[in-house]
């Protein structure tokens, strides 16, 4: 585990995107592709501002979602819709919609989760489980990550790689999410966390060692916590 506490949000974005650049470069050199899964929330704007500054063959990226809200793509709550608006449509980097693996629309949560798991198994190599090159994660003030919330039964899901949730405490309620077996099979996991409102939960995880969902991200590879000093104030 590597924890970095940086002066500003801009420094967090720079550090995160430098890590993405190096991880993508290794993956593309080794396998010809970079299989990365992204989260929603503030990460979307972090990547929208940081990715145009890095050097990468974006055509070799295949982008999945750590979780996705089951609402129409044109709904502001849809994570793919936000990446399309902030990262694809701006044409600042050479990325197309087709490079995103999106959640099935107009179906049940269970069916969307099953379909997404099938897509991951189709595109992401690895035995016995698909292995993502990188997961880009956020964390809520309650310690959730992806759509894995404190106290939820999904925290103990071990057979499904993608599960549906219909009672997300963070709206909207209906989502699909990666589960810990596939999260913790990743080569690299990176959290980018900024702001005073995350300081308490960071302390609860890294000092008090509470068993919160984000604390359970312990991949076979490396995990990076990239914080600004507001979020990391209790760690310095």
Are 212 and 201 in contact, with CB atoms under 8 Å apart? Answer: yes
Residues 76-95 that bind ligand 6PG (CB under 6 A): 79
Q: Candidates 41-49, 52-60, 86-94, 98-106 — which segment interacts with ligand 6PG by CB under 6 A?
A: 41-49
Query: Which of 5, 73, 70 minimizes the C-alpha distance to 236?
Result: 5
Q: Is 219 in the site for ligand 6PG (CB under 6 A)?
A: no
* CB distance 18 to 224 below 8 Å: no
**Footprint of ligand 6PG on residues 124-163 (CB under 6 A)?**
138-140, 144-146
What DSSP character marks residue 223?
E
Output the 3-class SS for 66-103. CEEECCCCCCCCCHHHHHHHHHHCCCCCCCCHHHECCC
Report the distance separating Cα 227 and Cα 8, nearest Å: 9
> CB-wise, 28 or 188, nearer to ligand 6PG?
188
Q: How far is the CB of 227 from ligand 6PG (least distance, A)?
A: 12
Q: Binding to ligand 6PG by residue 60, rule CB under 6 A?
A: no
43/223 with CB nearer ligand 6PG: 43
Site string for ligand 6PG, 170-189 (x = CB under 6 A): x-------------------
| Chain centre to alpha carbon of residue 92 | 21
Element (H, E) at 193: strand 188-193
Q: Which is nearer to ligand 6PG, 66 or 95 (CB)?
A: 66
Residue 50 interacts with ligand 6PG (CB under 6 A): yes or no: no
The contact set with ligand 6PG (CB under 6 A) reads 39-43, 66-67, 79, 138-140, 144-146, 170
């Amino acid at each position: 585990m590597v924890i970095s506490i940086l002066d500003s949000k801009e420094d967090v974005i720079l550090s995160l995107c430098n890590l993405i650049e190096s991880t993508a470069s290794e993956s593309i050199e080794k396998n010809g592709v970079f299989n990365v899964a992204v989260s929603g929330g503030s990460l979307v704007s972090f990547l929208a501002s940081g990715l145009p500054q890095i050097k990468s063959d974006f055509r070799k990226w295949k982008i999945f979602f750590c979780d996705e809200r089951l609402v129409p793509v044109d709904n502001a709550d849809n994570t793919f819709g936000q990446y399309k608006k902030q990262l694809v449509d701006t044409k600042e980097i050479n990325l197309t919609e087709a490079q995103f693996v999106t959640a099935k629309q107009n179906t049940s949560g269970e069916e969307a989760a099953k379909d997404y798991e099938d897509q991951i198994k189709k595109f992401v190599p690895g035995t016995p489980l698909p292995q993502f090159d990188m997961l880009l994660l956020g964390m809520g003030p309650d310690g959730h990550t992806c759509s894995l919330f404190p106290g939820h039964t999904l925290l103990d899901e071990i057979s499904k790689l993608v599960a549906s949730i219909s009672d997300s405490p963070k709206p909207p309620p209906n989502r699909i999410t990666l589960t810990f077996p596939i999260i913790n099979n990743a080569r690299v996991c990176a959290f980018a966390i900024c702001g005073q409102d995350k300081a308490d939960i960071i302390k609860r995880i890294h000092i008090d060692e509470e068993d919160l969902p984000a604390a359970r991200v312990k991949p076979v590879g490396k995990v990076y916590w990239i914080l600004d000093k507001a979020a990391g104030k209790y760690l310095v």
